[in-house]
Structure 1
Amino acid sequence: MMKQYRVQNDGSGKRIDKLLTFIEPNVSRSEIQSWIKQGHVTVNDSVVKANYKCVEGDTIAWTIPEKQTLTIKAEHLPLEIVYEDDDIIVINKPRGMVVHPSSGHTSGTLVNALLYHCHSGLSTLSGEERAGIVHRIDKDTSGLLVVAKTNEAHRELQKQFKNRQVKRNYEAIVHGVISHDHGLIDAPIGRDPKQRQNMAVVDDGRHAVTHFRVIKRYGEFTHIECQLETGRTHQIRVHMKYINHPIVGDPKYGPRKPFVKFGQVLHARSLEFTHPITEEHLSFESDLPGDFHGVLNRLNKMT
């Protein structure tokens, strides 16, 4: 499908990749840059580079390439299974594992591993690429998540998440010393208008609430527990940055010079919900991973 846009005065001087992210708000900047690189975008009938500065009166034309359907393969990958029955499976996800396949991660994901392990199959409500996935945690966040094997279980779990009946507690280490023992962050989250691949607190964002309490204070850091009331993308990471206490090691929202380099020190510690079929109350806990303990030991030695 071919689209066209005539650059107005307010678009003059802007890079073409940045301008197109505002014109196409549902497309990431990296994807738009790939369109430009592949020649799907022209300015005044000429192919340009992503850093081209637009001029008032320019005619931008672009073709949205058809998305290729991913072939999701079952893969024999290690899984730490906390609980499993015919309807659901609870996984303790390691840091570094992506939850489901995407254009940048077609293998090695949790879904690839689950397709191999669950011979009876996974729920299909979220599509093939997100088979069984009811909720997600980021690639470099470790910890617990529940996966649905059947569509009936998936629907019931979705209702519980929507009605805020699922309890999710995380632990994190953040920059700075939080002076108060408890806190609540109620701030809407949406796409960052300046960096479309990031999320941010924005006026027209989706309602987001995070509760936190201090576990221990260190010289320049604080170990905290967070409880999610809502489940927005990067919610804890964005909210902690918003109150000027970004999570240690966070490559997107933390300081440019990281205290650790393996990713955000964030762990999904506990998970509570009602079994979607039997209605039994289920509660699970996951120990902090070794790298998290390593940061705590490092902080103890510094104080």
Structure 2
Amino acid sequence: MMPAAPRNEEEKRYALTVAETEGGARLDKYLTEALARKFDEDEAASAGGAPSRARVKQLIEEGRVLIEGTRPRPLTEPSYRVKRGEKFEVALPPPLPAKPEGQAIPLDVVYEDAELIVVMKPAGLVVHPAPGNHDMTLVNALVAHCGDTLSGIGGERRPGIVHRLDKETSGLMVVAKTDRAHRGLAEQFAAHGRDGKLTRAYKALLWGVPSPKKGTVNANIARSTHNRSKMATLKTRLDDEGEDVTAGRIAITHYKVEREYSDGLVSLVECRLETGRTHQIRVHMTYIGHPLLGDPTYGTGMKSRAAKLTDEARAALTRLNRQALHAWHLGFEHPVTGERMSFNAPLPEDMRELVEELEGS
């Protein structure tokens, strides 16, 4: 078993005892809820906010959670089921610094307070550093803008990030600036709106017009076995008792056709997510036979349709040079004040120009 991580004087330690009603819970879930109660009782600690479940899982795996006994030992399995009466000690280190360096990248700030910031991410900007994109990301811009206030609890390479958009997708994003904001926002995004707190909507330009014009796509998504850079839908598979045992992750997209252009050659569709999978809208719209305009990964094979556009619309599509997808609406409950926050962002210039040409055709 992994040895306990080194301790230092800056760490805060919390002693927790599992109540009778808490027995059977996963260790990471129990500790998240128990620490939240502790932080509520400790005014000094609450200023920074209790750790999120993702952070608690990280602490467990680092060996910072001890279970008491004749010889206290670290528990490193987040899925461990706690038993009533068990005693734990959690060593909570100070927040990790955001390692990415700040870079002077233009940042379109829609809203900002001491806890969070809402920005309009342009197409072409990667959200956080990753292999192949080590800098010049949204995170680098945020570090430069927010400085020491940016939360490090989302991970050293993704400080404050609670959701993401594909590089070539434009739209609204919210980023946590404190640990307590990160915890609250992460919980809302994990629920994907099922608790009524989070709302997200996207505008997409599709080839053709979906039928029916308002519907739901429910198809599991997994990484393609033929191309690891792509995602794919999976066929439903039932066991001998009729239970759904389809592999992959559940993915549900609600869509509604808003406009039709060029006699149904193209449609403007609003999509709302009930889950948040990689490339979900792009994969699901392709699955129902209506890939996004400009999508280089899932929208290939549309040259014959593109040839039917007017010269002006075809030129605008060439200038777009990306999937026609924009996260236009974002709503959530402020993780600290409880206030309902709602933001809308109009189509960016490249998509707006394409729509204007389609309207004139």
Residue 199 (structure 1) aligned to one of 201, 224, 231:
231
Q: 1:243 aligns with which of 258, 280, 288?
A: 288
Offset at residue 71 of structure 1 (A): 6.0
In the alignment, structure 1 residue 222 sits paired with structure 2 residue 267: yes
Say which of 346, 349, 354 aligns to 1:287: 346
2-side partners of 1:247 and 1:235: how far apart? 12
Q: Which has the higher helix share?
A: 2
SS in 2 for 1:119: helix
- Which is higher, the Rg of structure 1 or of structure 2? 2
Listed as ranges, the matches of 1:78-117 within 5 Å are: 78-117=106-145
Q: Select between 212-221 and 271-280 the one with higher mean Cα deviation.
A: 212-221
The aligned amino acid for 1:254 is G
Letter of the 1:168 counterpart = R
Instruction: Tell me the CA shift for residue 301 of structure 1.
Output: 2.6
Corresponding position of 2:71? none
Q: How many residue pairs end up in the alignment? A: 233
TM-score normalised by length of structure 1: 0.74
Q: Deviations over 1:258-280 (max 9, x none)?
A: 65341000000000000001110
What runs of 5+ residues in structure 2 fail to find an aligned partner? 1-97, 235-245, 307-316
1:185 and 2:217 correspond: yes
**1:254 paired residue number:** 299
SS at the partner of 1:244? coil
Alpha-carbon RMSD across the aligned residues, in angstroms, is: 1.5
Tell which deviates more after alignment, 224-233 or 198-207: 198-207
User: TM-score, length-normalised on structure 2?
Assistant: 0.62
Task: Tell me which of 240, 254, 264 is aligned to 1:211.
Answer: 254
C-alpha distance after superposition, 1:232-276 (max 9, x if no partner): 111100100110100100111102456534100000000000000
What does the per-residue CA deviation read over 1:211-237, in whole Å, with 9 as the maximum and x for residues that have no partner? 010111123111100011111111100
Pick which of 130-139 and 158-167 moved more.
Answer: 158-167
Percent identity over the alignment is 48
CA contact 1:215–1:223 (8 Å) conserved in 2: yes
**SS in structure 2 opposite 1:135?**
coil
Q: Distance in 2 between matches of 1:80 and 1:256?
A: 35
SS in 2 for 1:120: helix
Cα distance, 1:120 vs. partner? 3.0
Given that 1:178 and 1:217 are in contact with CA atoms closer than 8 Å, whether structure 2 keeps it comes out as: no
Alignment of 1:15-164 (within 5 A): 72-164=100-192
State the Cα distance separating 1:72 from its structure 2 match.
2.0
Q: Which residue of 2 aligns with 1:300?
A: 359
Shift of 1:107: 1.6
Cα distance in 1, alignment partners of residues 151 and 360 from structure 2? 47
Q: Deviations over 1:34-55 (max 9, x none)?
A: xxxxxxxxxxxxxxxxxxxxxx
Cα distance in 2, alignment partners of residues 149 and 177 from structure 1: 41
Once the two structures are superposed, residues 71-100 of structure 1 have per-residue CA deviations (whole angstroms, 9 ceiling, x without a partner) of: 621101111101101110001111111101
Task: Find the aligned partners of 1:289 and 1:236 in 2 and give their Cα distance.
Answer: 18
- Unaligned 5+ residue runs, structure 1? 1-69
